[in-house]
Amino acid sequence: MRIRGPIVDVGEPRTVGGGTDLVEITIRPERGAADPVRVTLWNKWSETADYAEAGMELLVTDAEESEFQGEVGYETTPDSWVVLEPEFLVDVTAVRSWVQCPRMYYLNKLSGVPLKYPVVKGTVVHEVFGDLLRGRDLEDSIDHRVAEAGLELGALGYDRKEVEDEVRRNAAAVEGWLQQGTLTEEDTWRSEYTLISPTFGIKGRADALRRGMPVELKTGKNTKREPRFQDKMQAACYALMLEEQGVDVEGHSPSGSQTQSGNADTATLLYTKNTALERAEETGDLAPAKEFSVGPGLLKFVVRTRNELAAMEFDAAVPTGFEADARCQYCFEQDTCMVVSGRLDQESKAGQIGKPLPAAERAYFEGFYQGIEAERREVHAEYRKLWEQTAGERAEDDRALLDLEPLDREELPGGRWRLRARKPDDAVSKLRPGDVALASDGDPVSGHAELCRIQSLGTGKAGAEIVVEADEPVDVCRLDVYPSELSVDRMLTALHDGVLKGDPGRKDVLFGRRDPEFSGPQREYVGNNDAQNEAVNLATRAEDFALVHGPPGTGKTYTIAQTVQALIEQGERVLLSAFTNRAVDNALEAVREQGVDDAEIVRFGTESGIREDMQDVRLEQAGDPGERISELRDASLVAATTASCGSRIMREEAFDVALVDEASQLTEPATLAAINLAERFVLVGDHEQLPPVVQAEGGKRWAPEHSAATDGGTAAESGGDGATADRPPRLDLSTSLFERLHEMAPEASVLLDRQYRMAQRIQAFSSREFYDGALRPANGEVAAQRIADLPGVDVDAIPRNLRGSVSFVDPDGERAGNTNPTEADRVAEVVDQFVAAGVDEEDIGVIAPFRAQVAEISRRVDATVDTVDRFQGSSEEVIIVSFVATGELSGPIYDDPRRMNVALTRAKKSLVLVGDAGALSSDPFYDRMLDWARREL
Ligand SMILES: Nc1ncnc2c1ncn2[C@@H]1O[C@H](COP(=O)(O)OP(=O)(O)OP(=O)(O)O)[C@@H](O)[C@H]1O
C-alpha cells in the first residue's frame, strides 16, 4: 500500500541486529488530516531521513502494515520507494548535474545555458538524431538543422561548412549504430519523449526510446567501456519514469537474452564523438554505443539523490558542494563557483574569491531568489493538476479543451506535423495561439500525448477549428495547458546577471545610493501635449533611467513611438521590450507608423508569437550564420519580449537604451532581463492598473530577511506587514520595478495627464480615485463625445436608462458559482438594445470577472467578451461590465481596485455597469462607484 503525508517528526537512525539500519519517521496521512503514524524506513532508505525534516511530504510505496508494542505503523518492504516532496518536480538534467556536484546544479540554475559552441552543436546533433529516427535523409537533415542554428552560430563566429562537417562526424555514430545488425525491422523507435512522474517527482525529455527503453545522446567522447556515471543516472531517471508510465517494453537485455517484459531494464548512451576519434591516437573502447543494465540498486540511488535535491529545495537552501563527493580541482566551473560564493558570501567547498557584495544587494538577491523559487513551486502545482484534476474539472478551470474531433494531419517539410481538430463552439480555455500545449488522444498523463504549439484556435462560430504543430502525430481529442518553468528560469538568470554581473553605477541607482541624473538640452518633441513632451525629454536626457506614468488612454504608445524615434535620431541603439508579444507588437507598430525606417528594425521572437503585420521585420534565425548575426547586430531597434531578452542570443547583445512598455505588469526580475542589456532604461506603465501576475501567496509578501523554512516552504508569511516595517520597502515580486522606482525617485517620473479616450463623465471616477483628480480629457471633443456621435445611431431607440455616458443596471440575478445567468441575459439584452439602435456589435465590449461568466455571455452575443486581464490596453465605444456577485462581494477578484480601474476605463462613449446594488454597496469603493454611475439617472 501507499502511505503519504506531511512529516511531523524524524527519529534518530538506529542499527538493529546484524547491522541493519532503520529510521522512524512520523507522518500525518490524508494530507495531514489523519492521526500521526510511524513509518519505518529500512536499510538504504534510512539515508533519506538524513535530510528529511518536519513539514516535508513523505511518500512510501508498497509499505507494509506492522504492529509494534500495540501501536499500528508502517514499514518499507524490498519493493518500496521512498520519495520526499513528490510534488517538487526535479528535472532529469538537474539530477544529472547534482551527482556531478550539487553546487554545479545551483550555478547552472542561476546562470542558465550560455551561448557556447558545444551547446549549440549539441542541440544540432540532437535534432539530426531525431530526424534520422523519423527516417529523414542525413544530408538533408544536416543541411536543415545547421541552417536553423544560423543566428547562434553567427554570434559565435562559426561558418556553416565547419559546423556541418563536425555534425556529420557526430551523426556518423548515430547512423552507423542505427544500421547495426543488432537492430531488426521490428525495432520500435520514438524520438523526444516527454515524461512526468507523479510518484517520483521527476520530469524530463528522453532523447529517444528504443523498444521502450531510453537512449541518450551525448556529443562528447567516452573511451571507457562504461558510460559516465552522471549519464547513467540520467538514463536511469527515464527508465524509472517509463516504468511508472507502463510504457511497453519488449524483452531485451544487453546480452540479447530475453528478460521479463515490463521494465525498462536496459539503457543506451550514445557518445557521438567516439566515431570521430582516430584509432591511432586514442586507446580504449571507441564504440559510440554503450548499453548498461538498469538494476534496482541504481534506480533506488536515483530516487535517493532526487530526494536529497528536493529536500534542499524545500527551503530553497544553497548547496555548498560538501553534500557530494565533488572534486574541485578538476572542475571547469571552479572559478565561477568561487566568484559566486565570494560575492554572495556563500559557503563553498571550492572556497571564495573576491569581496562580498554590500549587504543590501545580498538581501535583494536572496529575497528575490526565494520569491522566484516560490513561483517555481506554483508551476509545479500546475503540473500536478494535470493528473489530480479530472477532465471535467480541468475544462471547468479553463485548463483544457475537451471533446475535440480530430480532422486531419499533414507532415511538414522538416518532419514536424500539422494537426487539425474541430472544437465544440462553446469551449473556452486559457490557451492562446502561440502557447505550448499538451495535445493528447484524450488522456494527457497515461495516454498518447505530445507537446505542441498552437497555431490557431478558431474563434469563429460553429465548428471552430484548432491547428497545432507537433514533432510526432497524435489524434488531437484534447488540448491541455502545459506549464513551463521558462519564465521562472529566466527571472533567475536575470537576477544573477543584474546583481552578480551588473554594472556598479546601475546598481547604485537601483539601490538608492545615488539619485538618477539627467543631462543635455531640452527640445520640443510633442507640440500639443506638455506632459508627453516632458516625457520624451526625460527619456532622451536620462543618464540612468526615466519613468513614464501613463493612465488609461493618455498616449503611452504614442509617447513610446516619439521617444524611440528621438533616441534613434540621437544615434542610440534601442531595445524595445514588454512582457507579452502583443504589447511588443503594439508598440512596434506605433514606432513604424512614426516613420522609423524598417531597415533599422528587427523583431526578435518566434514566428508563431509575432503578429502577422510584424512578420516582415522578424529576424529569421535560420540561414547563413554571418548574414543572420549581422542583421541583428546592425539593427538600431530590436523589439523582443522580456522572456526573449533572457535567451542566450539576446543576453549577448548590448544596447544604449532599453525601453520597456507595460512595465508596471512586470516583476522586478523580469524587468531586469531587459534592462540588464542596456546602459540606460525607460519604463512606461501605470501602477494603478493591473500589477504583475504572481502565483505564490508568499511571493507577494516576502521580505529579504525571510527564511521560508519556518512555514512549509512555499508561502512566506512570516511577520506580516507589521514585522516588515523596518525592512527595505516593497521589495517583492508583485511590486514592479516601475512602481518601486516611482516611489523612490519621483523626480525621474512624468505623469501623462491628458487622456484621448473617454468622455468626461466616464473618466471622472478613475481620475478621482486613482490619480488625485489629475487626469483630464485631452480636448473638448474627447470630453463631450456621446453615443449619438456614432454614425447611424438613433439615440431615441436606446432605452432612456442607457442613454447617458455611464449607467447602472440591476438585473436582480443570483450568483451561481462563478456565473450569474440572469445577469448574462440582461447583459445580452443591453447589447441587443445598442445594436437595435444602430451601434455596430464590433464596437461593443463586455468585461466579466470570471471566465465562466465570459463563456455564459459569449453564448448569447457576438460582441467581444473577456476578462479584465485581456482588456488591458484596449478600448471600445461601448463597454458593459458584468459583476456577477450578489448579496456580498466575496472573492479575491473584487479585492484589488486596480482591476476595476482597468474595467472602468475601457469605454469611450458609453459605460454600462450590470450588477447587484446590494453586493456593490457593501464595500466603500464599490459604493462610491455606484454613486457615480447612478448620478445621471
Ligand atoms: N499628442 C497627441 N496628439 C494627438 N493624438 C494623440 C496624442 N497622444 C495620443 N494621441 C492619440 O490618443 C489615442 C490613445 O493613445 P495611445 O494608444 O498611445 O494611448 P495609450 O496610453 O497607449 O493607451 P492604453 O491606456 O490603452 O495603453 C490614440 O488614438 C493616439 O493617436
Q: Which atom of ligand 1 is nearest to the CA of 551?
A: 25
State in Å: Cα 641 to ligand 1 middle. 22
pLDDT class of 211 with cuts at 50, 70, 90 = confident
pLDDT at 78 over 60: yes
Structure confidence by residue, pLDDT tens digits, 460-474:
444 588 999 998 889
Q: Which of 525, 529, 536, 557 to mutate to test the pocket of ligand 1 (most atoms within 8 A of CB)?
A: 557
pLDDT at 331 over 90: no
What value does the mean pLDDT take over residues 564-577? 97
Contact (Cβ atoms closer than 8 angstroms) between residue 14 and residue 21? yes
Structure confidence by residue, pLDDT tens digits, 236-251:
999 998 888 765 544 3
Bridge partner list, 574: 637, 657
Residue with cell 467578451: 865
Which residue has the CA at smallest separation from atom 12 of ligand 1? Answer: 756
What value does the mean pLDDT take over residues 184-198? 72
pLDDT at 255 over 80: no
Which residue has the CA at smallest separation from atom 4 of ligand 1? Answer: 528
State in Å: Cα 552 to ligand 1 middle. 9
pLDDT class of 113 with cuts at 50, 70, 90 = confident
What value does the mean pLDDT take over residues 801-830? 94
What confidence score (pLDDT) does residue 936 get? Answer: 58
State in Å: Cα 775 to ligand 1 middle. 14
Residue with cell 520514438: 190
State in Å: Cα 687 to ligand 1 middle. 18
pLDDT at 686 over 90: yes
State in Å: Cα 466 to ligand 1 middle. 35
Higher pLDDT, 642 or 134: 642
Q: Which of 580, 662, 664, 756 to mutate to test the pocket of ligand 1 (most atoms within 8 A of CB)?
A: 756
What confidence score (pLDDT) does residue 164 get? Answer: 95
The continuous run of DSSP H or E covering 271 comes out as strand 266-271
What confidence score (pLDDT) does residue 254 get? Answer: 35
Residue 390 sits at the vertex; the CA angle it makes with 389 and 391, to the nearest 5 degrees, is: 120
pLDDT at 720 over 50: no
pLDDT class of 129 with cuts at 50, 70, 90 = confident
What is the end-to-end Cα distance of the chain in Å, rounded?
A: 67
Q: Which residues contact 267 (CB under 8 A, 6 or more apart)?
A: 213, 214, 215, 216, 232, 235, 236, 238, 239, 291, 292, 294
State in Å: Cα 435 to ligand 1 middle. 29
What value does the mean pLDDT take over residues 248-269? 53
What confidence score (pLDDT) does residue 226 get? Answer: 85
CB burial class (10 A; 0-12, 13-18, 19+) of residue 563? buried
What confidence score (pLDDT) does residue 258 get? Answer: 36
What confidence score (pLDDT) does residue 247 get? Answer: 59
What confidence score (pLDDT) does residue 180 get? Answer: 66
Contact (Cβ atoms closer than 8 angstroms) between residue 401 and residue 720? no
Query: Which cell numbers hold the place of 815?
Result: 450568483
Which residue has the CA at smallest separation from atom 10 of ligand 1? Answer: 555
Structure confidence by residue, pLDDT tens digits, 730-763:
678 999 999 999 999 999 999 999 999 999 999 9
Residue with cell 501507499: 2
What value does the mean pLDDT take over residues 382-397? 89
- CA 559 to chain CA centroid, Å, is 29
**Pocket lined around ligand 1, Cβ cut-off 6 Å:** 526, 528-529, 532, 550, 552-558, 756-757, 873
Which residue has the CA at smallest separation from atom 23 of ligand 1? Answer: 553
Lowest mean pLDDT among 230-244, 322-336, 340-354: 322-336
Q: Cα separation of 326 and 216, whole Å?
A: 24
What confidence score (pLDDT) does residue 184 get? Answer: 53
Which residue has the CA at smallest separation from atom 29 of ligand 1? Answer: 756
What confidence score (pLDDT) does residue 890 get? Answer: 82
Structure confidence by residue, pLDDT tens digits, 265-297:
888 888 888 777 766 667 777 778 888 889 899
The structure's pTM equals: 0.89
Structure confidence by residue, pLDDT tens digits, 23-50:
999 999 988 889 999 999 999 999 888 8
User: If phi over 0 gives left and psi between -120 and 50 gives alpha, with beta otherwise, what is residue 909?
Assistant: alpha
Which residue has the CA at smallest separation from atom 25 of ligand 1? Answer: 552
State in Å: Cα 85 to ligand 1 middle. 50
The overall average pLDDT reported for the chain is 88
Q: Which residues contact 51 (CB under 8 A, 6 or more apart)?
A: 84, 307, 308, 311, 312
pLDDT at 638 over 90: yes
State in Å: Cα 533 to ligand 1 middle. 13
Structure confidence by residue, pLDDT tens digits, 531-557:
999 999 999 999 999 999 999 999 999
Q: Which of 524, 534, 536, 558 to mutate to test the pocket of ligand 1 (most atoms within 8 A of CB)?
A: 558
What value does the mean pLDDT take over residues 68-90? 91
What confidence score (pLDDT) does residue 299 get? Answer: 94
Interface predicted TM-score (ipTM) of this complex, two decimals = 0.97
The DSSP string of 610-669 is: S-GGGGGGB---SS-HHHHHHHHHT-SEEEEEHHHHTSTTGGG--EEEEEETTGGGS-HH
CB burial class (10 A; 0-12, 13-18, 19+) of residue 343? buried
Q: Which atom of ligand 1 is nearest to the CA of 689?
A: 25
What value does the mean pLDDT take over residues 95-101? 92
pLDDT class of 135 with cuts at 50, 70, 90 = confident
